[in-house]
Amino acid sequence: MEILIAGGGIGGLAAAIACANAGHEAIVLERNREFTEIGAGIQLAPNAFHALDHLGVGSRVKELAVPVDELRLMDGPSGSTITQLALGKEYEAVFGNPYMVVHRTDLYHSLLDACQANSAIKLVTSCSVVGYSQGATYAQVNLEGGENIRADAVLGADGIRSSIRRQLVGDGDPKVSGHTIYRSIVPMEKVPEDLRWNAVTLWAGPKWHFVHYPIASGKYMNLAATVDNQATKPVVGKPACADSVKELFGGLDRQAKRLINLGEGWKEWVLCDRDPIECWTDGRVALLGDAAHPMLQYAAQGACMALEDAVLLGELLKEAAADSVAAALTRYNLIRKDRTADVVHAARYMGAQIYHASGDLAVNRNATFASMTPGDLHSVLDWLHGARPPFIGDREQRSEAEAATGKTQRSSLNAVA
């Protein structure tokens, strides 16, 4: 089959590799003039590495990623440690792959290089998709300018403001969370030696939190400071003044403030997500990644979910032919919808109940984490970090079984469709 993929982000490129590995031809249509990603850090949990391994790029990404020693949760105002989860051998043995942080461009270029090296993948730039249409034997994308491109199936990997989703789901603009994130990257030589922690560190405060970790083989420290400032309009990468960032995070402990003070060239984003939906396929057309299930970044799983989507799609498309592709896409949707909805909700929960807690909620949070052993933390994370290809969990299997008996899920899918 020939499969059109709208959007060449992490999800679109991963899907192209998965389609090619399944024996099909993939054409990625990217609206930008070049295939590129913004330069900031991204955390990848073992489930992402399982997906990357499956796609054949795991070892390349691991070469470029930084293995961090631990996840650290700090009490932002007091500077005390709430909990630490070691990410060494024991963690890796439990989950089968490491937890690492990577410069986004390193992850992106590993996927892009694999696409460019694959003759079954065609990459097209300056190509803006505005919608789709389909008939009994084809699906096609409609491009800005009026041209149509026809293939056997269309995958909408065009991000949180997806054009394909606008037509397929029609649920309007994404939901503005009211939270603003400020991001900066600091050369490691500027970071005082006693603060060069090889950890993903999160300082939690009342209605704000601050995260930092090393990226690009430890050459930089990635800073991300988030505040619940009730922002009402989406903002994407607007330059922000360093003094305002310092002021916003004035409640931070002295040590963490030293890092915030190093930030330069801050950019801000107002974070958005969407409520989970049941149905993101329409015949030969399906969504993936942020187009299907955009989430707040608090579980650090948006890209991980896009990679999981791609792997499952590839596995299902291996068995599919032109006359059964719609059924394969429906199955993919059915399998993925509960897990990705759980992650959307988990990310919201983590933001509100853990990262931005104040008063009694913060006291209870600290006490709860203090009582947990590493084994307890592993158990809590297992559903998320422990998933493996083809990413069909127990709940998804139940969902499928219900669908097979004609109960709940499929009828609700149809209702949404």
Ligand X SMILES: Cc1cc2nc3c(=O)[nH]c(=O)nc-3n(C[C@H](O)[C@H](O)[C@H](O)COP(=O)(O)OP(=O)(O)OC[C@H]3O[C@@H](n4cnc5c(N)ncnc54)[C@H](O)[C@@H]3O)c2cc1C
Dist CA 224 CA 218 (whole Å): 16
Task: Please pick, from the candidates 4, 42, 168, 357, the single residue that binds ligand X as defined by CB under 6 A.
Answer: 42
Q: Which residues contact 333 (CB under 8 A, 6 or more apart)?
A: 279, 280, 281, 286, 413
* Element at 106 (helix H, strand E): helix 104-116
Contact between 70 and ligand X by CB under 6 A: the answer reads no
Contact 28, 8 (CB under 8 A): yes
Task: Please pick, from the candidates 26, 199, 304, 334, the single residue that binds ligand X as defined by CB under 6 A.
Answer: 304
Site for ligand X in 168-197 (CB under 6 A): 181
Q: Which is nearer to ligand X, 180 or 366 (CB)?
A: 180
Task: Please pick, from the candidates 16, 19, 27, 29, the single residue that binds ligand X as defined by CB under 6 A.
Answer: 29
Q: What is the crossing angle of helices 10-21 and 104-116, to 10°?
A: 30
Q: Which residues contact 217 (CB under 8 A, 6 or more apart)?
A: 64, 66
Contact between 351 and ligand X by CB under 6 A: the answer reads no
Residue among 405, 411, 298, 312 at smallest CA distance from 352: 298
Site for ligand X in 212-271 (CB under 6 A): 269
User: What six digits make up the tokens of 73?
Assistant: 């949760």
Select the span of 60-68, 111-119, 151-159, 332-340 touching ligand X (CB under 6 A): 151-159
Task: Please pick, from the candidates 10, 121, 191, 223, the single residue that binds ligand X as defined by CB under 6 A.
Answer: 10
The nearest distance, CB 363 to ligand X, in angstroms, is 28
Task: Please pick, from the candidates 2, 25, 53, 158, the single residue that binds ligand X as defined by CB under 6 A.
Answer: 158
Contact between 72 and ligand X by CB under 6 A: the answer reads no
Contact between 6 and ligand X by CB under 6 A: the answer reads yes
Dist CA 256 CA 410 (whole Å): 49
* CA-angle at 32, arms to 13 and 183, nearest 5°: 80
Q: Which is nearer to ligand X, 5 or 362 (CB)?
A: 5
Task: Please pick, from the candidates 262, 286, 306, 310, the single residue that binds ligand X as defined by CB under 6 A.
Answer: 306
Contact between 297 and ligand X by CB under 6 A: the answer reads yes
Contact 294, 280 (CB under 8 A): no
Q: Which is nearer to ligand X, 21 or 43 (CB)?
A: 43
Q: If you ran DSSP here, which 8-state letter would residue 188 be given?
A: G
Contact between 303 and ligand X by CB under 6 A: the answer reads yes
Interface residue list for ligand X (CB under 6 A): 6-12, 29-32, 42-43, 128-129, 157-159, 163, 181, 269, 289-291, 297, 300-304, 306
